[in-house]
Chains A and B, each alone.
Chain A
Amino acid sequence: MNTRLKELLTNWRVITLVIFLIFALISIQPQIFGNDGVTIRSVEANSSAELAGLQNPSAKLTPLAKEKIISINGETVKTEDDYYRLTDNLKPNRTLRIETDDGFYNLITKETNGIVNVGLKVYPAPTSNMKKGLDLEGGTRVLLKPAEKISEDNLDLTISNLKERLNVYGLSDVVVRSASDLAGDDFILVEIAGVTEGEVKDLLAKQGKFEAKISNETVFFGGKKDITYVCRSADCSGINPQRGCSKIGDGYTCSFFFAITLSGEAADRQAQLTDKLTVLSEEGGSGYLSDDLILYLDDKEVDSLRIGAELKGRATTDIQISGSGSGIDQPDAVNDALQNMKRLQTIIITGSLPVKLEVVKMDTISPSLGKEFLSNIVLVGILAILSVVTVVLIRYRKIKIVMPMVFTIVSEMVLILGFASLVGWNLDLAAIAGIIIVAGTGVDHLIVITDEILKGEVISDWKKRIKNAMFIVFGAYLTTLAGMLPLWFAGAGLLKGFAFTTIVGISFGVLIARPAYAAIIELLLNE
């Protein structure tokens, strides 16, 4: 027995599976004993929390890495209720000492509109690094109203534009749909998982009219008609190396830049306009034109760019856009600048909305699948595995076969969840559907492998038996892959998520977990 165990643990297929499992667990980091405290979802601008130095969590952070409040004024915060009990009914101009897993903050409470609000939005601390989607965690629901009556076509355009904007922003879990009340007024309803309300407001309500003007005449607008390409890679966008960051007053300012390519038409317009300008010569030798290229966002000036004398009357298509961001310290300013850059890029790519939108209502909504959903699904999953075990046990009557089977199926699920945590994929209905199919086809393939090995009948060669089994498994794998790939590329929303989880899951299964099962079975049954 011991030699067999040794053989098992030195088999490279088994070792590969174990290594991948360890990586998956490291990436999920399940907090088996629960996780006390409340995690910060968002920090309101200019609130006492922000003034004390608390920051909006970056969307890139994994759920467990986000800042978590542990105690307030020395009292431990374990649940959301604790938090609201300790921050309710505060009086203005008092000190509130908040302890997070990053350090201590002293907040001075202040009154706005008669209410004392520290400016934090929190939620119960997550118990693993898995991100939950809108269906499972709920999110922010925003009702937007067009500032004026618009046609159905324009409403559709606004919706697809908003979707694109939110997608460029990196929010995959977004629902945007049209709505109307019984009086016939049009609205747009947006539901988003896990973002700060300020960000949403900024992005949704701004019309995003981007214009570049020379001597008050428009050279180009944001959108695909005038701008054919917007650079978003590191070599032609980011913090401007020439201007960099500088200390101004109490804080820092950093400037960003990115390159864009104009359409021929827009370049010609620029040539005509610059031709009228005069050259101002500077002491350094190289001169500038008498007027600047001024960038406007929603009719507000964001930046002005000096135009080199050599560009007078020339139709250049490559232009560098710049802007800036500020913050208390340098990293903060860099962050702000990059965020502004991303927003500007988004607006330039998607163009302006046909109409201005007003935020009518904004509230936090519970998940459509209910709170008990996840625990119920886990229970159902366990019962389903038990019933599979029963059927397999009746058929093969060997515990030696059933145990490795259960181990393999569970490993496959851990691998999928680990991968989802690693890439920050939202666990939603699509992912659950994907996991169901991976587990289902997983059992199918394990039965094929078992039957081929048991019923090798005339074939005495073990290698040949496994080869026969893997032939069928690979055939089914490649065919399913061929079926899912088009859905991944062409499908929208849910289908994309489903195809993605399925492809990732069956790939892990067929390439890592199922070969390990074959190796284990071979060792256990080969008397």
Chain B
Amino acid sequence: MKNKLKQIYEHKYKVLLIIPFLLLVLALVQIAVQTSITGDFVNKGISLKGGSTITIEDSSINIVELENVLREKFQNADFSVRTITSAGSVVGIAIDSDAQNSEQIDVLVSALKEEVDLEKLEYSVEVMGSSLGKSFFKQTFLALIIAFVLMGVVVLIYFRTIVPSMAVILAAFSDIVVTLAIFNLTGMKLSTAGIAAFLMLIGYSVDTDILLSSRLLKRKEGSVMHRVYGAMQTGLTMSTTTLVAIFVALIFVQSEVVKQIMIILFIGLLVDLVMTWIQNVGILRLYLERKKK
């Protein structure tokens, strides 16, 4: 079995290249479909699209309990429950949620009524807009495009060959797009911290790709496959340590926001394995073969 896989990996690498490109195309289709149905390329959470704040003036509510109850009732919603203090003592709570229209808010308020006696207490509801300006996504996309161009230039100067440089950039790009599509399929809602997680993928993806390109292009010892396996041993150790650390973090972390960062990184690192060891290896081997001729 192991030998057979090795055989396929070593000799059928051109056929294997279909996998990463198919993934990339499928991901782009998912994002396109998502955009046409919901009008947004990703499910945006409260910090990205706004929501509402319900303020209740009562000092006796246990916010941890309340948050857990709400989270159980509305599994795909985005919540945070905070206390309001005055002169050192709690005077009320504020529930931020992504409920934006009055129907959603009504559902939330009636759910709250089961937990808290809203009839007696004073409460108010305010609908908030996004904390990010309208131009935020435009700006981020522009910055990302410039970032990819700059990264391309740096890799080009570093290795002085066009194809391998483009391969590094393509791998990072594919990694982000495929991870975004998978994230969308989970139904989770993206927070601003989630955006940071996607950007972190650039760093992780670049690490393994530069390692691979350096070993394949700059070293002379052994055959190409020998060097691929050498790089893979290092690369897999890198990915394993990170994946194990993230896995442990996912089990123990309490904060939903950090959990989301970890989930995105976890998906992204798995996708990166395909993008580095099938896509990038395939492209580099094709390139080295052409160069020989």
Contact = CB atoms under 8 A, between A and B. Distances in A.
B242 interface: yes
Interface of A: 80-81, 83-84, 138, 141, 143, 156, 159-160, 175-182, 187, 189, 363-370, 372-373, 376-377, 379-380, 383-388, 390-392, 395, 429-430, 432-434, 436-437, 440-441, 443-445, 447-448, 451, 455, 457-458, 468, 471-472, 475-476, 478-487, 489-495, 498-499, 502, 506
Contacts of A432: 258
A128 B147 CA distance: 35
9 contacts: A179-B128, A383-B249, A391-B244, A429-B257, A448-B211, A475-B214, A479-B210, A492-B132, A498-B196
Contact of B84 (A364, A373, A383, A447): A364
B255 A377 contact: yes
Q: Binding site of B, secondary structure by majority: helix, strand, loop or mixed?
A: helix
B126 A179 contact: yes
A487 B195 contact: no
Interface stretch (B13-21, B37-45, B199-207): B199-207
Interface in B205-237: 206-208, 210-211, 213-215, 218-219, 221, 230, 233-234, 237
Interface residues of B, number: 88
A457 B252 CA distance: 41
A125 B82 CA distance: 22
Given A391-B241, A447-B241, A494 B196 contact: yes
Given A84-B87, A502-B203, A485 B150 contact: yes
A495 B199 contact: yes
B150 A486 contact: yes
Given A383-B249, A385-B245, A429-B257, 16 more contacts: A138-B82, A177-B131, A178-B129, A179-B128, A364-B86, A366-B85, A376-B252, A433-B196, A433-B197, A443-B238, A445-B207, A475-B214, A483-B203, A490-B146, A494-B192, A495-B195
Nearest to A391: B241
B143 interface: yes
B274 to A, nearest CB: 18
Interface of B: 50, 53, 80, 82-89, 91, 94, 96, 102, 105, 124-134, 136, 139-140, 142-144, 146-148, 150-151, 153-155, 158-159, 168, 172, 192-193, 195-197, 199-200, 202-204, 206-208, 210-211, 213-215, 218-219, 221, 230, 233-234, 237-238, 240-242, 244-249, 252-255, 257-258, 261, 265
A494 B25 CA distance: 30
B210 A472 contact: yes
B153 A482 contact: yes
Contact of A487 (B85, B147, B221, B253): B147
Contact of A479 (B80, B155, B219): B155
A40 to B, nearest CB: 14
Contacts of B148: 483
B257 A369 contact: yes
A180 B127 contact: yes
Given A480-B206, A495-B199, A368 B53 contact: no
Contacts of A365: 82-85, 94
A337 to B, nearest CB: 32
B84 A366 contact: yes
A491 B139 contact: yes
Given A455-B230, A476-B211, A493 B200 contact: no
Query: Which of B94, B150, B155, B261 has most chain A Cβ within 10 Å?
Result: B150
Contacts of A176: 131
Nearest to B155: A479
